[in-house]
Amino acid sequence: MTENDAVILLTGFEPFGGELINPSWEVARALDGAPIAGARVVAQLLPCRFRAAGEAMQRFVAELRPVCVLALGQASGRADFSIERVAINVDDARIPDNDGAQPIDEPVVAEGPAGYFSTLPIKAMVAGLRAAGLPASVSQSAGTFVCNHVFYSLMHSLRQHPDVRAGFMHLPLLPAQASRHPGLACMPLPLMIEGVRQALRIAATHQGGDAVQAEGQIA
Ligand code: PCA
């Protein structure tokens, strides 16, 4: 691996909402520098602050010119690798971010489209993870907090570059976190790292259109 290798940008968040750790950053930093499909993973930390995180994501994309981007976030209560389908143009915060900001029904990007779809092969990623014995699903909503804001900012900054595959994956809590929230699902860190490594490999190498398999939900 050299400095000239193609870059896969992998982001994680700082802790928020009273947590002391965020699995998304623990996974991202563990994979920093990893070779995947001839490219090199570059991990970057995002603040859990609406404005700063969106701006940081746009800066990382502009500076690193990645061939593929996967943003990771924590989703308390989710039980598996949760691959997001769509980012929507709204901030609606149930709790304040780490800056104390709590936007309600504000657009991520004024005059931006209502939403952007992930450009990752999300169903091939779900299928590949399951085939490797790892639990995964397509998620129809990344929420309306900082993760969705970053996901939307990412897709907006790449709207003229459809060749760059980009998207978002939520992760469960780590066991130490779940020990303080009885009943919530969790996953050990080594398994998370392995799943994200496999997901990145599929994201970077999958040929053609996405896999065709039903991963929808009935309301
Ligand atoms: N999860 C939050 C923001 C940061 C994170 O890891 C979310 O789902 O919006």
Within 6 A (CB) of ligand 1 lie 13, 16, 22, 24, 48, 73-75, 143, 145-147
Looking up tokens 């709204």, which residue turns up? 90
pLDDT of residue 174: 98
147 has catalytic annotation: yes
Using the CB atoms, write b or e for 124-141: b if 16+ within 10 Å.
bbbbbbeeeebbbbbbee
Going by alpha carbons, the residue nearest to atom 7 of ligand 1 is 147
Query: What does R_g of the chain's alpha carbons equal in angstroms?
Result: 16
Task: Give the position, in ligand 1's atom list, of the atom nearest the Cα of 149.
Answer: 9
Could you give the C-alpha distances from 129 to 70, 111, 137, in angstroms and in order?
15, 37, 9
Give 85 Cα–ligand 1 centroid separation in angstroms.
16
Task: Give the position, in ligand 1's atom list, of the atom nearest the Cα of 148.
Answer: 9
Rounded to whole angstroms, the Cα distance separating 88 from 104 reads 14
Phi, psi of 77 (to 5 degrees): 100, -25
Quick check: 19 pLDDT over 80?
A: yes
Give 219 Cα–ligand 1 centroid separation in angstroms.
23
pLDDT of residue 2: 65
% of residues, the chain, pLDDT over 70: 99
Q: What is the pLDDT of residues 157-167, one digit of tens each?
A: 999 999 999 99
Quick check: 10 pLDDT over 90?
A: yes
Pick the catalytic residue from 48, 84, 156, 186: 84
pLDDT of residue 161: 95
Class of domain 3-205: alpha beta
Which 3-state string (H, E, C) describes 32-90? CCCEECCEEEEEEEECCCHHHHHHHHHHHHHHHCCCEEEEEEECCCCCCEEEECEEECC
Best of 24, 27, 48, 102 for a ligand 1 pocket test (most atoms within 8 Å of beta carbon)? 48
Provide the whole-model pTM.
0.97
Could you give the C-alpha distances from 108 to 57, 138, 161, in angstroms and in order?
13, 23, 19
- Give the residue extent of every domain in the chain: 3-205
Mean pLDDT of 58-85: 98
Q: What is the pLDDT of residues 86-121, one digit of tens each?
A: 999 999 999 999 999 999 999 999 999 999 999 999
Quick check: 15 pLDDT over 70?
A: yes
1 confidence band (pLDDT: 50, 70, 90): low
Interstrand relation of 165-171 and 68-74 (parallel, antiparallel or unpaired): parallel
Going by alpha carbons, the residue nearest to atom 9 of ligand 1 is 147
Give 193 Cα–ligand 1 centroid separation in angstroms.
18
Quick check: 4 pLDDT over 90?
A: no
Q: What is the mean pLDDT of the chain?
A: 97
Quick check: 65 pLDDT over 70?
A: yes
Quick check: 55 pLDDT over 70?
A: yes
Pick the catalytic residue from 149, 170, 186, 206: 170
pLDDT of residue 6: 97
Angle between helices 189-205 and 122-131 (to 10 degrees): 130
Which residues are CB-neighbours of 183 under 8 A, at least 6 positions away? none
% of residues, the chain, pLDDT over 90: 97
33 confidence band (pLDDT: 50, 70, 90): very high
170 has catalytic annotation: yes
